[in-house]
Amino acid sequence: MKYFRNQNCRFTRPVVTMGTFDGVHLGHQKLLQQMKDIARRTQGKVIVITYYHHPLEIIHSKTFPYLLTEREEKEKLLRKYGVECVLYLNFNRTMARMSPQDFLESIIINEVNAKELVVGYDTHFGINREGNYNFLQEHASQYGYNVNVVEPYFIRNRIVSSSLIRDLIREGDVNSAAEYMGREYSLSGEVSTGHRIGRNLGFPTINVIPADANKLIPAIGVYVCLISIGSGIFQGVTNIGYSPTLKKTGIKEVESHIMDYDEDLYGKKVEVYFLQRLRDEKVFNSEHNLVKAIKEDIAAARRFFLERDKVKNEKQRQ
């Protein structure tokens, strides 16, 4: 299949959607649920056509720090919500110039043989994003498929969208982002060798290098977090920024202190979940004041987890 990077599933009465699905947020989940309902009714397979790289990377040949979900995480989430086959478009400049008619006929019909299409209210495809729901509806009888549109998902009068969630992450509002995503925002990566400054201060830290250079990093500041290491989940505090009091590198880093944990993690893969932003990153006039602030951050994180456990226990008793 020349239009896809992979093809390792059979199309049995395919129920098809297409899009970037970055974040696999509550709006996406609503669409996927509708696909599952149709597939159950028609005894078909749920298939998502998506991108191996975001189209912007190909069109502009550069890195964009925008990704809410890395490719591996996105596919894992899509499968969690019922997708049986994820097809990655072999997107290039030639495909970017395809007309909606060519895209529909060559890819959706000839390659995938879609019988049921499920699309979001804002779906676009083809050159200049000219293809949309109305276009698909107009050609449904010609190509013998049904097309279903999924209306926007609202939370507090705001449409849940990847762009909205990106804005919230860039502002450090990880609480609201989690509400729209249906889970905490996270970052996966490998632990690199750092300067061991935190250890010398009595608070060992790990430096996490994002697994994908395009991953969107939350706003600079200090966060309450959970750190996944292997099969374990640990509580911690993460600083995103430049550590200006002790470092002069000018390099933005993701640096986590894992509370009550002191094992060597260099070279290991971890995932950091951002739960609450505590404060801005600050420049302190002395090492003593920096240490004092770190202790306050850790104390605040412990209070956060105690309160969270209290709320969880109360809900379980109700």
Distance between CA atoms of residues 181 and 216, nearest Å: 15
What are 177-213's pLDDT values in tens digits?
A: 999 999 999 999 999 976 666 666 778 899 999 999 8
Residue 160 has pLDDT above 60, yes or no: yes
pLDDT at 18: 95
Region 270-297: mean pLDDT is 91
* Domains (range + CATH), the chain: 14-158 (3.40.50.620), 185-317 (2.40.30.30)
pLDDT at 217: 95
What are 78-88's pLDDT values in tens digits?
A: 999 999 999 99
pLDDT at 74: 95
Residue 318 has pLDDT above 80, yes or no: no
pLDDT at 244: 62
269: which 2 tokens? 């893969």
pLDDT at 59: 65
What are 89-147's pLDDT values in tens digits?
A: 988 888 889 999 999 999 999 999 999 999 999 999 998 889 999 999 999 999 999 99
Length of the chain: 318
pLDDT at 47: 96
pLDDT at 262: 82
Model confidence band, residue 269 (pLDDT cutoffs 50, 70, 90): very high
More confident residue, 50 or 54: 50
Distance between CA atoms of residues 222 and 299, nearest Å: 13
pLDDT at 30: 97
Whole-number average pLDDT of the chain: 90
Report CA dihedral (94, 25, 169, 196) to the nearest 10 degrees: -90
Render the burial of 98-133: b for 16+ CB within 10 Å, e for the rest.
Answer: bebeebbbebbbebbebbbbbbbeebbbbeeeebbb
What are 225-246's pLDDT values in tens digits?
A: 999 999 999 999 999 998 766 6
Pick from 103, 78, 101, 100: nearest CA to 90: 103
pLDDT at 48: 96
Residue 251 has pLDDT above 60, yes or no: yes
Answer yes or no: are the C-beta atoms of 193 and 51 closer than 8 Å.
no
Distance between CA atoms of residues 220 and 239, nearest Å: 8
Q: Percent of the chain beyond pLDDT 70?
A: 92
- φ, ψ (nearest 5 deg) of residue 256: -115, 135
